[in-house]
Structure 1
Amino acid sequence: MIQQAQFVISNTNPGNCPKPDRAEIAFIGRSNVGKSSLINMLTGKSGLAKTSQKPGKTQLINHFMINEKWYLVDLPGYGFAKINVKVKQGWESMISTYLTKRENLCGVFVLIDSRLEPQKIDLEFLYWCGTEGVPAVLVFTKADKQSKNKTNQNIQKFLKKMVDIFEEAPQYFVTSAESAQGKEELTSFIEELVQEYESGEII
């Protein structure tokens, strides 16, 4: 259970992240996928991560300390087209360096908008994670925004694409920031990852 959550630091350079001396869980997704809302729902703090109607709001690596024990990291969204190409390349370099070099990173939650058919950019990002050995887990967001049936259809289509690429579907969660759907399952899974890290099972 997340009882305490506080902002620690924002930066553009993965080398300036806090000392890698505790478990770290990162959240990433396409712009406007509902990442900030999900983080706020999980932590129970409505203003912890900055939400915006304007895609591309998160432009930094944001570290939050959870329960004085582990870090939750809010990463910039990928695939936002309306930004300067140079800025975009800088973001992509920052994100890829962080995801591949951060030694205390024990889980990366890739957020997918459950209202949409499988998006090429999400599939490409997950393929990159697979080839780079990044420990990715899927989190389908905005499950309350359409019928349960439609959500399930889109999720099954996405999982089928994952099986086509990787021969198996990754672990996944279905969430809604509005109704707090998936909160318990997701926080329990994160706690397991943190415990595994602390017991030395994940190095």
Structure 2
Amino acid sequence: MFEDRPDRDEIVLVGRSNVGKSTLMRELTGHTKFTTGKKPGVTRSPNHFDWAPESFMFTDLPGFGFMSGVESHTQDAIQTDIVRYIEENADDILAAVLVVDGKSVIDIIDRHTTEDSIPHDVEMFYFLDELDIPTVVAVNKMDKVGDRDERLNDLCDRLGLFPPWKQWRETIAPITAKRGDISNLTEALRTHLHDQQRDDLFKFL
């Protein structure tokens, strides 16, 4: 399901199921073909949206972690495919957007943190860093979060970033994709593109 990738530079969206990746993809591209749904696991293979003349695309990768109605071995296989996709295409990935649910991410991380395991979100953040892929954590659904600064500071702490979050604006981007409030993310992505001398792609953000 991960075959036939177009040969071009890309920005990838990764994250747990049902955190709003596909909604964010629609917002970034203005394209409505991306399937969204309340049931986790709607996206099972990469969704590419590309501009052929520009040799650039956004890619919405399948959600990882728990998926309602999906057997655990299938969930594991999807996660393995995501990791392999990112590893194999790391040289062409200009930036990664790790999407998390601002309302629940701290509880999820804390619930899955043990002496023997690291939560998927944190593991993915470290994995992208190891591959030297510039990463922005898009903290979605912030319209549902009351203690905004406290929540974002807690997230920095869980990711190994020294709070306060406002010193990490190139890495932590509070957004509400459903309302079209993604300016923090686009500004962070522009910073990373500029660092790679790809200002020509600003028009897509």
Normalised by the length of structure 1, the TM-score is 0.76
Counterpart residue number, 1:3: none
SS of structure 2 residue aligned to 1:50: coil
Counterpart residue number, 1:7: none
Counterpart residue number, 1:113: 101
SS of structure 2 residue aligned to 1:106: strand
Matches within 5 A, 1:23-172: 23-45=9-31, 47-66=32-51, 68-69=53-54, 70-82=56-68, 83-102=70-89, 103-118=91-106, 119=109, 120-147=119-146, 150-163=147-160, 171-172=171-172
Counterpart residue number, 2:179: 179
2:27·2:180 contact (CA, 8 Å) conserved in 1? Answer: yes
Residue identity in the other structure for 2:137: L
Query: 1:77-107: per-residue Cα shift (whole Å, max 9, x none)?
Result: 1102542233223212211111111021111
1:112·1:141 contact (CA, 8 Å) conserved in 2? Answer: yes
User: Which runs of at least 4 in structure 1 moved beyond 6 Å after TM superposition?
Assistant: none
Normalised by the length of structure 2, the TM-score is 0.75
SS of structure 2 residue aligned to 1:31: coil
Residue identity in the other structure for 1:129: L
1:76·1:95 contact (CA, 8 Å) conserved in 2? Answer: yes
Distance 2:135 2:65 in 1: 18
2:140·2:174 contact (CA, 8 Å) conserved in 1? Answer: yes
Residue identity in the other structure for 1:79: G
RMSD after superposition: 2.6
SS of structure 1 residue aligned to 2:17: coil
Counterpart residue number, 1:8: none
Identity %: 25
For structure 2, the residue ranges without an aligned partner over 5 or more in a row are 110-118, 200-205
Distance 1:198 1:177, change over 3 A: closer
Which fold has the larger relative contact order, with Cα–Cα distance below 8 Å and residues 6 or more apart in sequence? 1
Distance 1:51 1:117, change over 3 A: closer
Please state how far the C-alpha of 1:127 moved relative to its aligned partner: 2.6
1:25·1:106 contact (CA, 8 Å) conserved in 2? Answer: yes
From the two aligned structures, give the one with the greater helix fraction: 2
